[in-house]
Structure 1
Amino acid sequence: MKVMVGIPSYNNGDTISFVVEQAAKGLEKYFGGGLVVNADGGSSDGTRDAVLSARVPDGVEVRSFVYKWPIPGKGSAMKELMEVARDEGVDALVFVDSDLRSITPEWIYKFAKPIEDGYDFVAPLYIRHKWDGTITNNIAYPMTAALYGKNIRQPIGGDFGVSAKLIDVYLGDEEVWKTDVARFGVDIFLTTTAIANDFRVIQTALGLKIHDPKDPAASLGPMFNQVVGTLFMLMVRYEDAWKEVGTLEAVPVWGELVKGEPEPVKVTLSLLKERARELFSENEAVLQKVLSEETLKGVMEALKTFEFDDVLWSHVLYDGAAAYRRGILKNAEPLIPLYFAKTADFIEKTMEMSTLEAEKLIEERARVFLEEKTYLTEKW
């Protein structure tokens, strides 16, 4: 089987050579060699030099290029990596992030082998700290599970395995790459497109994920808007695929699950609360049009106490999606203060919990979102 590892990057000079070396060892050990390709966004810190000077075994070719797609972002890098994979005729393309510190050669096997076994999309299943991946835990996971009925725990995990057949689907519509799919919307696009088009999906057990996590209140940047906006855009595109789904189906896991407690992630609870209240004031006029009267009332109470239950939170996102569809909500940014408030609620509830205990609350959230789905279909 011909396997390529694709690594998107932008100013990851400190971490990327380790990722390249581990990926190359995996290709050599399990597939007799292969191709590692880096698509860079024009880094100024020597990222590409680090890639090309990485020590790799014989039989592994390493390439690095600056992508040409005019929209700067992770998705543009991944688009051009898929084009390379298609041109090279690979059977499996494995995407890995450039800041991973926990990647091992086995990760490459765990992403590529299920493709050889007949799957088309391989999602990561890691153990992440309870406060790592708050957009995943609060939005991408419960929304994807409830909408499409597939219990994929890390739909925007960043590391994936994809088949040649699926690459053709991803590259089939050039217009979609002119949206936030070219930026941080790419991961939810890859996962949703695979599920909505009935490709065979599986999760692969990877153990602990150690990378460079960020404090959600301090460094959200444009990611929220791009991920949630893309999720809403895909809901419109794939309406026929989710509207009648009423059950949550387990997605198989490839490999053995392991347990452990990941490195702690720093969060500034006071800043989350402060930003939630401040940004709500700035966006209140828009939110009055987006949210139902009852949801808005619940949100205003939640901003006083930071008690923000999952039913209310599902209604916020479902109102947001319906408003996006009708053109009332142009992008997801006005929802950020409510995301901050929900994140603060989760941090307070899980302060004394282990990651495993907190995980049960996140799984319950997906079930609540499914139970509340009639609220969405009525609003839609």
Structure 2
Amino acid sequence: MKANIVVGIPTYREADTIARSVTQIDRGLERSYGAENCLIVNVDNQSDDGTKEVFLGTKTACPKHYVSTGDNPRGKGKNLLRLFELGLEIEAQYVATLDADVVTMTPEWPTNLLEPLMSRDADYTLPIYTRNRFEGSTTNHFAFPLMYGVYGAYLRQPIGGEFGISRKLMEYLVQQDIVETTQQYGIDMFMTCHAVVGGFTCQEVFLGRKLHKPSFPKIAPMFAQIATTALRVTHGYRAKLPHLVSTNGVTETEHGGIDPEQKPSSPTAIAELLLRARQDFAQLGNEQLLGDTYSETVEVMKGDEPEISAQLWARFLAICVRRVLREECTADQLTQMVKVVTPVFLCRAATLWRKAGSIEPAAVEWEIRNQAELFRQEIDAKKD
């Protein structure tokens, strides 16, 4: 089995959505590159809902291949790392990965991700879309500010889920240290951080509108996995990051932003989430970690609906990240840090949700970008 182009679909229990995604991917690949040059791969965590059968039963011009990575442990990162290994094994030069649950995917998505790789303009392509204002909270409040403020890369969707990866970058990624959270939802941040610091050329590509299954039910564990992975990688690169040239090797696009349609989560679910966040925060010893934000954060977190402003969140997050950049931190210390950060993040996300429902999409996007700028200013102000 050989293919020059591989498009992977990482899944767990996506029998209800994968057929449409496979069809869109197949149309794009056949039209642009010819079916004989391509392979569509479903890398799956041994789903028990018929994902495999639906995938293999979907009619395509391009050949398909199913890979089970097992269910112990299970995770998106485990699937993507196996995809990269497979790509290298079959001598693929270009790999793209797309999530199975995106209902707005078009045939242009895989080709838009692949074209900059094939023209040698990039080793890594990242998505830009318009998104529901109530989705993407980990992106908006953590991943985007971190990439801009610490890595100097103004990448609006660093963990978007749709990526293009050159063979050279795949070879680099599989050589890096892998931790448990990297095998879970931390994989996107793992790829983006390593691509930027590793000196690979990165390019954003506009894909259009992204609508997918709600991620709200998984927001807390997803954030913890992404943040843990990001802080582990950042800590490993702490000697290099102060010398990284701002936006070096990154081609940005001005497209993207907030979708006009509003799809908020239920108020009851949000209230339950905030209650757990406040309870978790109250049980943690965090005075040393929070520094000069301690008193304000503790006081705010006592409220029924804690209002974490962009300014407080930027200061709070910067204190945590500066510690990662300046000190020796064990894996246990980083895990404990994420436990403290997670409930504050959830309250910051809810604060913006409450505001976002009554303002225009452009104003929501401004809030997100301004927050990233505030975080960068906090990082820059305390540089040694």
Q: Same fold (TM over 0.5)?
A: yes
The counterpart of 1:154, out of the listed 149, 152, 157, is 157
- In structure 1, the residue matched to 2:317 is 317
Moved more, 40-49 or 328-337: 328-337
User: Following superposition of structure 1 onto structure 2, how do residues 279-318 of structure 1 map, counting pairs within 5 Å?
Assistant: 279-283=280-284, 285=285, 287-292=286-291, 294-303=292-301, 304=303, 306-318=306-318
- Rounded to whole Å, the distance in 2 between the matches of 1:26 and 1:79 is 24
Structure 1 residues 261-270 or 246-255, which shifts more? 246-255
Partners of 1:362 and 1:257 lie apart in 2 by 13
State how far apart, in whole Å, the 2-side matches of 1:231 and 1:354 are: 31
Partners of 1:213 and 1:265 within 8 A in 2: no
| Residues 133, 262 of structure 2: 8 Å contact kept | no
- 2:348 equivalent to 1:342: yes
Shift of 1:247: 4.9
1:246·1:370 contact (CA, 8 Å) conserved in 2? no
2:379 aligned to which of 373, 376, 379: 373
User: 1-side partners of 2:7 and 2:264: how far apart?
Assistant: 28
Report if the CA contact (8 A) 1:96-1:158 is conserved.
yes
Aligned twin of 1:226: 225
CA positional deviation for 1:323: 5.2
Q: Work out whether residues 196 and 249 of structure 2, in 8 Å CA contact, stay in contact via their aligned partners in 1.
A: no
1:351 matched to 2:345? The reply is no
Match of 1:352, SS?
coil
Query: Equivalents in 2 of 1:366, 1:68: separation in Å?
Result: 38
Counterparts of 2:170 and 2:261 in 1: how far apart (Å)?
Answer: 33
The unaligned stretches of length 5 or more in structure 1 are: none
Unaligned runs of 5+ in 2: none
Q: Deviations over 1:79-132 (max 9, x none)?
A: 111111112222210100111111111101100001012110000101111111
CA contact (8 A) 1:210 1:263 kept: no
1:235 CA displacement: 1.0
Paired residue for 1:115?
A: 117
Distance across 1 between alignment mates of 2:219 and 2:91 = 37
> RMSD over aligned Cα, in angstroms?
2.4
- Could you tell me which residue of structure 1 aligns to residue 39 of structure 2? 35
Q: Which amino acid letter does the alignment assign opposite residue 277 of structure 2?
A: A
Secondary structure of 2:199's counterpart equals coil
How far apart, in 2, do the equivalents of 1:232 and 1:329 lie? Answer: 7
State the Cα distance separating 1:322 from its structure 2 match. Answer: 4.9
CA change 1:358–1:267 in 2 (3 A) is: farther
Contact 1:71 1:178 in 2 (8 A): no
Equivalent residues, number: 369
Letter in 2 for 1:40: D
Give runs of aligned pairs for residues 142-291 of structure 1, distance below 5 A: 142-173=145-176, 176-215=177-216, 218-244=217-243, 247=246, 251-253=250-252, 261-262=260-261, 264-268=263-267, 269-283=270-284, 285=285, 287-291=286-290
Q: What TM-score does the superposition give when structure 2 sets the normalisation length?
A: 0.89
Stretch of structure 1 that moved more, 317-326 or 12-21: 317-326
Q: Distance in 1 between matches of 2:39 and 2:210?
A: 24
Q: C-alpha separation between the residues in 2 aligned to 1:254 and 1:308? A: 30
Deviation string 1:302-347 (CA, Å, 9 cap, x unpaired) is 2237332233212322333355653444341232210121112212
Moved more, 312-321 or 17-26: 312-321
User: Kindly tell me: are residues 245 and 89 of structure 1, through their superposed partners in 2, closer, same or farther at Cα, counting changes over 3 Å?
Assistant: closer
Counterpart amino acid of 2:116?
A: P
Cα distance, 1:263 vs structure 2: 5.3
State the SS of the aligned residue for 2:105: coil
Partner letter of residue 263 of structure 2? P
- Kept after mapping to 1: 8 A contact 2:43/2:83: yes
What CA distance in whole angstroms lies between the structure 2 residues aligned with 1:135 and 1:375?
24
Does residue 125 of structure 2 align to residue 126 of structure 1? no
The amino acid of 1:220's aligned partner reads I
Moved more, 270-279 or 40-49: 270-279
| Distance across 2 between alignment mates of 1:243 and 1:137 | 23
Q: Is the 8 A contact 2:201 2:250 kept in 1?
A: no
Whether the 8 Å CA contact 1:122–1:161 is kept in 2: the answer is yes
Amino acid aligned to 1:298: E
Asked if the contact 1:22–1:104 (Cα under 8 Å) also holds between the matched residues in 2, the reply is: yes
Report if the CA contact (8 A) 2:199-2:249 is conserved.
no
* Structure 2 letter corresponding to 1:207: G
User: How many angstroms does 1:166 deviate by?
Assistant: 0.3
Secondary structure of 1:162's partner?
Answer: strand
Rounded Cα–Cα distance in structure 2 between residues aligned with 1:232 and 1:259: 27
Q: SS at 2:239's partner residue? A: helix
The SS at the match of 2:214 is coil
Aligned equivalents of 1:314, 1:376: Cα separation in 2: 13
For 2:208 and 2:273, the matched residues in 1 are separated by 29
Given residue 201 of structure 1, which amino acid in structure 2 is its aligned partner? C
Tell me the equivalent position of 1:77.
79
Q: CA offset at residue 15 of structure 1?
A: 0.4
Aligned 8 A contact 1:207 1:259 in 2:
no
Q: Return the offset for 1:262.
A: 4.1
Q: Counterpart of 1:306 in 2: which secondary structure?
A: coil
CA 1:205/1:96 → structure 2, altered by over 3 Å: closer, same or farther?
A: same
Give, in angstroms, the shift of residue 242 of structure 1: 2.1
